[in-house]
Structure 1
């Protein structure tokens, strides 16, 4: 990556030293620098966000690791410029991370970041979540600002292993999303969703996270995949709507 971008990058806040171990802090700082420079130049990060990267994006993403078990296989769908996937991978080298993103300019940036930072436990996949349906499953499927829960279930749950979970970063409307998706949660045979507040002493306000697991690991549900009553035209319409929304 080019180092001749003149924009001044944000300094490392004290809270970052609590979110990252000393041997990973330099990687987090370099990634934040790349977001503030190359990310802005390439249109991946808005120029007004550059000065807020640590508080609003990096630290906010780093604390997601509190909800991820040791040694988990993680898939971050719609990762964009790597939020939260790259940040979580920097903070948690014990994880195996797959970043899924359909846009070439973003995956190009991600490939360069992974190479420069030496994140050999991170894989970049250019595509959409549904491209992996039926071929791979993960212990944790993460996302950040991708879609409301009712749509997110259809993209994420087919990737969730029987004993795994969807772990999505959400905002103040999380309880409204849960209510709106109540019927689908039942259809998908999901357990009662959990709302977690993460990052005490690191971020303020804390990061709100929604966790959804299977109600019965022996009877996971794939209602959208197996619905034989739907016509081919209906299935095509649904897939098109999902692609446009991602």
Structure 2
């Protein structure tokens, strides 16, 4: 059974969207994305999570939990996006957000291009590149990364991409106080937002860092 044919999975996604205060109409394109991810994952091993219900919680809803903190941001680079997380769910939920999906792995980049085409995401593009090789300095209002590296490592690779006053929105599990204390010169902490992910019994935080 493909994910979109599973009524229990659809109900779980619907409930999660409701809890996050997001429109129920998002379930349709999100399930198309999940179908595509599950199908490609059987051949290309794009994510270690293979159970579609776990994908709903740990991929879709986890990514969408940061929507309130991205709403109003015009341009976002999703660094080391893998199969498009959080970038593709954010692009689906926020049509006014222009998302650049940065991924150096060729198989994952091919999947990303297929996902953008299938979902007709006019507000998403794929940059098949290492993060530090993306030659668009100052081009983004914000950059994000999900379970990629330490805050310092993310900024070392992608710190050239945010515009003046631009921000890093880093998705983390436990509050990373040691990483915050080790922020490189020129960057300062703005906020740490606890995130509640429906169905996930684990701590999640969004760390907001700004160029000082």
Shorter-chain TM-score tier: 0.7 to 0.9
Q: What's 2:211 paired with? A: 214
Q: What's 1:175 paired with? A: 177
Structure 1 residue 136 displacement after superposition: 4.7
Residues 178 and 49 (structure 1), Cα distance of their counterparts in 2 relative to 1, 3 Å cut: farther
TM-score (norm: length of structure 2): 0.86
**Alpha-carbon contact 2:188-2:211 (below 8 Å) kept:** yes
Structure 1 residue 173 displacement after superposition: 5.1
Q: Is 1:190 the equivalent of 2:187?
A: yes
Map residues 1-246 of structure 1 onto 2, 5 A cutoff. 11-12=9-10, 13=12, 14-19=15-20, 20-46=22-48, 48-133=50-135, 135-172=137-174, 174-179=176-181, 181-182=182-183, 184=184, 187=185, 189-199=186-196, 204-205=201-202, 207-215=204-212
Question: 1:30 is paired with a residue of what secondary structure?
Answer: helix
Structure 1 residue 109 displacement after superposition: 0.4
Gaps of 5+ in 2: none
C-alpha distance in 1, partners of 2:53/2:196? Answer: 21
Residues 34 and 154 (structure 1), Cα distance of their counterparts in 2 relative to 1, 3 Å cut: same
Residues 200 and 41 (structure 1), Cα distance of their counterparts in 2 relative to 1, 3 Å cut: closer
Question: 1:60 is paired with a residue of what secondary structure?
Answer: helix
Question: 2:188 is paired with a residue of what secondary structure?
Answer: coil
Aligned length: 205
**Alpha-carbon contact 2:101-2:126 (below 8 Å) kept:** yes
Structure 1 residue 161 displacement after superposition: 1.0
TM-score (norm: length of structure 1): 0.75
**Alpha-carbon contact 1:144-1:168 (below 8 Å) kept:** yes
Root mean square deviation of aligned Cα: 2.3
Higher share of residues assigned strand: 2
Query: What are the superposed Cα offsets for residues 220-239 of structure 1, whole Å, 9 maximum, x if unpaired?
Result: xxxxxxxxxxxxxxxxxxxx
Structure 1 residue 56 displacement after superposition: 1.2
C-alpha distance in 1, partners of 2:197/2:48? Answer: 27
The structure that has the greater radius of gyration is 1
Gaps of 5+ in 1: 1-5, 216-246
Structure 1 residue 202 displacement after superposition: 7.4
**Alpha-carbon contact 2:137-2:162 (below 8 Å) kept:** no
